[in-house]
Structure 1
Amino acid sequence: MTEAALATAPAMAARPRPRIGFLGTGWIGRHRMEALCGSGLVDAVACADSSHECLAEAQRLAPGAAAATSLDELLGLDLDGVVIATPSALHAEQAIRVLEHGLAVFCQKPLGRNGAETQKVIAAARAADRLLGVDLCYRHTEAMRQIRNLLSTGALGRVHALDLVFHNAYGPDKPWFYDPRLSGGGCVMDLGIHLVDLALWALDFPEIVQVSSALYAGGEPLANRTAMVEDYAVATLHLGNGAVVRLACSWRLHAGCDAVISASFFGTDGGATLRNVNGSFYDFVAEHHQGTSNLTLASPPDEWGGRAAIAWAQQLTVSPRYRREADRLTDVARALDLIYAACPSAG
């Protein structure tokens, strides 16, 4: 251990566990709450939701957590951070309020419904000097970790082509997903955000120089984004490093299984693919391709769902201060803006 590490070790050991409030305790909120409570890194102090049923379920996971009905109640408590898992239209405003109160934030995606909202949250986090994280969870699968390692070590050579797909044969079950004012968009905002994030993050966020896209609703070209959301989308992103990214995502596509999820990276010396197994939303393999041969790098089981939240909690235990990696959230949001703007029929 270095002298600097030795000097800080006693202080770090003495630091109390961060006190966390949970805003929104539906399925995804409870899942992240369970992961954080199970990690032993934080104390679940309170949870807030307008649904008494959701609150009751949350308190079964964290019996010591107080029940609240609003963000105002949470902000009146002695907290170090808030985990936000509410509908998308509320994310930016709620995150900014939490940050301005001097607390760290971990938010479900999207952080904002567009680039402008996202930038406002990041500006608030910088001004408050508080940690900001977003649940871009597919980065944390073991399959994607293995592929990222291949890319970072140059094992694939110069990467020039990426193909990424996310088809959900069901689609969301909450009405607000289908209201563009509340959701900010359809399957691109819901699923495409993960594909864009994986592509940009894996390549260390190169510049996007050109985008083309096509958006559909009910099998017809999307005519008006203010009236409806897309349920099928394809997009091509040309990057400043010379690579081209092809994306496709959908809700309720007749895919023959629950989900089709994949992310392939092709370079001059090899390729690599993350793909789901047997239509699962949770089970993934990673393969390293060379010519016609494949080497399996990762396979199920892999409990990855809460790792993004746990990574945020680990950072928070070290320091609540802003980390510049959050600046990159604007790159992902801007890419989604470009995909929507590039569709000539969407208006």
Structure 2
Amino acid sequence: MTDIEDLLELDAVDAVIVATPNHLHEPHVLSALAAGKHVLCERPLALTSAGVERLLAAADRAGRRVMVANNHRFRSDVQALDRFLRGGELGNVTGVRAGAYHFPRDDGGWRLRRAEAGGGSFFDHGIPLLDLALWLTDFSPLTRVGAHMHRAAGASAVEDGMLVNLACANGIAMSLDVSGAYVGQEERWWFEVLGDRGSARLAPLRVVKELNGRPFDVSPAGAAGRESTFIQSYRAELAHFFAVVRGEGAYEAPADQVTVHRIVEAIYRSADEGREIRP
């Protein structure tokens, strides 16, 4: 089947997964909701915050569930980290440092065209890091947004690297560093949370806590020996979506994605204008 409209006409279909090019997410999700289907959409849900708001309104009118495939939230190591943070094990969170360095793409295509992709390396690799950082820190309001990007000239060009600094109202400072043109021996991904009484990093999960004035490794036993957290996260994400569709799982509309996209818009504005933005 090559036409989404043909798929959506099937009465046997209760839910769909949208994993089309970025610029098609919004129209495809709208079509699915109008046809009475529940939707799991790959990130980004839309290219803009206004687009996300339109989809949330459409889902509400249709009485259907729409979820965003933020799979990092479902990772077992992230769930464990969240428990450490909720329990105050690291003290007050003071910062998040995260990044992703990936080799250049050699396939061309829509990801290299701004109107279709929405952006380059930050849209691909930065938004997942941003969402995870905000989710783990309870979406504290931002006070300052600063960004610098490297992007070739031309209206359709996308950035191949971006460095972002965010300041939160509660004092947390976040730094996100992404590259889609990395020249190195291996690709890299990192995520670390800093607290005033400890720190924790992912892939694999390592937790260090201050005890009697000294740092101690309190990482969960076997954290490095489990299956790939990425593979596990996709399975957990799908299981949750199916449970939501069947009415067996708790559902919360992804209104937080409006906040994510407003921050993304401020990030690109800061990079384009070469100045700090105060949301």
CA-CA distance at 1:327 after TM superposition: 0.9
Q: What one-letter code is carried by the residue in structure 2 that aligns with 1:253?
A: Y
Distance 2:180 2:146 in 1: 20
- 2:41 aligned with 1:107: yes
Contact 2:243 2:249 (8 Å CA) reproduced: no
Residue aligning to 1:205: 139
Contact 2:65 2:253 (8 Å CA) reproduced: no
Residue aligning to 1:294: 217
Percent identity over the alignment? 25
| TM-score, length of structure 1 as denominator length | 0.71
Question: Residues 239 and 230 (structure 1 numbering): CA distance in 2 closer, same or farther, change over 3 Å?
Answer: same
Q: What one-letter code is carried by the residue in structure 2 that aligns with 1:264?
A: E
Distance 1:243 1:230 in 2: 27
Pair member with larger Rg? 1
Q: What one-letter code is carried by the residue in structure 2 that aligns with 1:301?
A: E
**CA RMSD of the aligned region, Å?**
2.1
- Return 5+ residue gaps in structure 2 as ranges: none
The residue matched to 1:118 in structure 2 has which SS? helix
Distance 2:156 2:68 in 1: 28
1:68-108 Cα offsets, whole Å, 9 max, x none, are 22111011101211111111110001101111222110011
* Correspondence 1:130-169 to 2 at 5 A: 130-169=64-103
CA-CA distance at 1:135 after TM superposition: 1.1
Distance 1:170 1:289 in 2: 34
Q: How many residues align?
A: 264
Q: What one-letter code is carried by the residue in structure 2 that aligns with 1:192?
A: G
Q: What one-letter code is carried by the residue in structure 2 that aligns with 1:73?
A: D
The residue matched to 2:46 in structure 1 has which SS? coil
Distance 1:329 1:135 in 2: 11
1:249-293 Cα offsets, whole Å, 9 max, x none, are 111212320x2111111111111111xxxxxxxxx3101113544
Distance 2:143 2:153 in 1: 25
Higher relative contact order (CA 8 A, sep 6+): 2
Q: What one-letter code is carried by the residue in structure 1 that aligns with 2:61?
A: A
| TM-score, length of structure 2 as denominator length | 0.88
* Correspondence 1:53-72 to 2 at 5 A: 68-72=1-5
Residue aligning to 2:105: 171
1:127-153 Cα offsets, whole Å, 9 max, x none, are 212111111111121111111111111
Distance 2:85 2:105 in 1: 32
Question: Residues 346 and 70 (structure 1 numbering): CA distance in 2 closer, same or farther, change over 3 Å?
Answer: farther
Contact 1:122 1:327 (8 Å CA) reproduced: yes
Contact 1:130 1:320 (8 Å CA) reproduced: no
Picking from 204, 211, 217, the partner of 1:285 is 204
Contact 1:232 1:251 (8 Å CA) reproduced: yes
- 2:232 aligned with 1:232: no
- 2:6 aligned with 1:80: no
